[in-house]
Structure 1
Amino acid sequence: MIHLPFSIFFAFSIRTSTIIMVHIPVQQQNFGNTELRISPIIVDCETLGFQEWWYSRKYALKVLPILKSCYDKALRTFDIHEQGEALLTEFLEEYQIKRETIVIVKGIDFFLGASDALEVFGPEERELSKTQGYWREHILSNVAESVKHFGYIDVMQVPHLGPELPLEEIMCALNEVVENGHVRYLSASSMPVSQLVQLEEISERHNWAKIVGLELFYNLLHREDEHELIPYAREHGMALMSFAPLASGVLARSLGDATKRTHPGSYLAAEVGQLWPKQQAAVSRLQELAASKHRPMAAVAVAWVRSKGCVPIVGFSSMEHVDDALDALYTTLSPAEIEHLELFYCRGGLYGK
């Protein structure tokens, strides 16, 4: 069998109820109304980068093959922050991959350098040295450091900015890194729609680089942004991305299985334990639909996010999880199935009571 680039292997046999692997191209897509082409699923490097608090070469060698699997299967858009940046740098060097063959979506690091994220500062020291936050000098320094590794950043994420920060000065700095070619496009991440409007008005007034994408905490259980942010983004032609399509893994396995697999004190166990009864019912409904379609729960959950016009940012801990996510590209949900999944949606918090 000849291996075709930019492809995965997938088909379903009705007669045998088994998965048969065949070549199906993975299509890239435009980033909103821009000419930038991105993967239909974005790879979350931060999930891999922080699985061990102390990043090491030994650990990198364990997870780099997962990134290579993503790359070989045409998932070539990578979301990075502090440790994820170090991991992606290691990946490019290890496999001698050309920078121009990938797309990098980068969040502005809260700490002044990736290594600083692992150091301990007191509140006074942090305030005096400005080692954390999103100041103009911080943005310029952070971008300059990334440029040393990658040459340029395709998409820079603008985070929710605190009230003490001068928005005009920040947008001026972001416009500067776009004008000098260090950043190609700007995107916003999880901010109130009022702040997004403010940033857009500042850009418009000065004819600066505009925000063309929006990253959201968005999944089957958390849909608060459907009321303001998503309509605003669609009206302005922004690309939509979800950084939590599986709700921290809650939507990747049955409720009972999640409880068995996780330690009582773990993050996932806490999330499962905080689900409202209706949200638990939604997870069970997802499980039933996935079983009826002979798909992993993760594939159906990611397919739901994609059905909303949102590009999922997915973290992978194994090769199998990569294939589960790719399965979502060929999982079609009918309007009735989408309505079936959404029936138990309830507003009023992330997952907690």
Structure 2
Amino acid sequence: MRIRARRAAEGHENHGNDEARESRPGRAGRAATAGAASGIRRAASRLRGWGGVSAMAVACATTAAVALLPLAHATPDTGRPAVHRPASMAAAPAAPWALTDTCQDPEASLRPSDVDGATIARIKAAGKLVAGVDQNSFRWGYRNQTAEGSRLDGFDIDLVKAIAKDILGDENAVIYRAIPTSQRIPALQEGRVDIVVRTMTINCKRLEDVAFSTAYFEAGQQVLAPKGSPITGYDPSLKDRRICFAAGSTAEAALKAQSYGSVPVTVANQLDCLVRLQLGEVDGIITDNALAAGQAAQDPSVQLVGSPFTREFYGVAMNKDASDLVRRVNKVLENYRAGGGDSPWMKAYLKHLQPVLPGVTAPPAPKYRDG
């Protein structure tokens, strides 16, 4: 099926009294963005793919130039087991930059509590939880076209709703703001969002700038390449190949530490890499295999190659000064994981991720630190 270009304006509108400022490029920037989007639209009809690629591929062409985009509300949706990882992830080695990480046990977070503090009080006074999310990551945070219209959907979106339900008593009391990978930390530091739930890996470097909840999913970096490509994984087959990754991502850190002679291509949003791969502008992508599995499901002409070369954990990111919110989110996650196969976490996994990332039988067990 050929991709048909569509406008993605519904993902870029303001909702209610959301007064977030968008980053507005200058005249030259706008012209360059328009030119790039026009080129993608002209080429889109020649590309192969299915599922949500058609809408999201065009959306990412415009979001790449925007620092922060408010989204409309999504339409409402009506004991600890051991962690079992897919076999392909079980033997993932340590990250190649692990020796530069000096913090101890980065996945350990503050102990859970439902006591209100200053941050929780502010969110309750506002009546809305402001969440930084993605709208282009299939199965995680994406625009789902249904008979009732377009809505935000995905595993990360379900978690945002659970947090809003606990704090505000209403899972739809959320202002969603789409943010590119490179803006996740600045959006928190500048107070543009309360939380970021956007497949964000917990690591020591990021802990210098933001706080994290306990881990809610385990993933690993892996290579995505066209079927029949000479690229065999994160290895010397990358030499002289144009490899795409998102700015500020774990993949960027990996390639800085060990590039295997590849030619780096940086984009603002991770999905932009899939568009470039389809256009023949890059030879491969490095990203979380949890994200790449969704992309391979959207476009059957690409596949994951090699094995995951890191072991990573996603967490909810928050401002470093919002310790009460960190504890509250950890309390939400305690309840979200509880119930084994009937837990909200497992139901969300089966609904969103199992079709593209099978073999996960339980969430990561939480780790806590003193204090």
Structure ranking higher in helix proportion: 1
User: Does TM, normalized by the shorter one, top 0.5?
Assistant: no
* TM-score for the superposition, normalised by structure 2: 0.28
* TM-score for the superposition, normalised by structure 1: 0.29
Which of 1 and 2 has greater Rg? 1
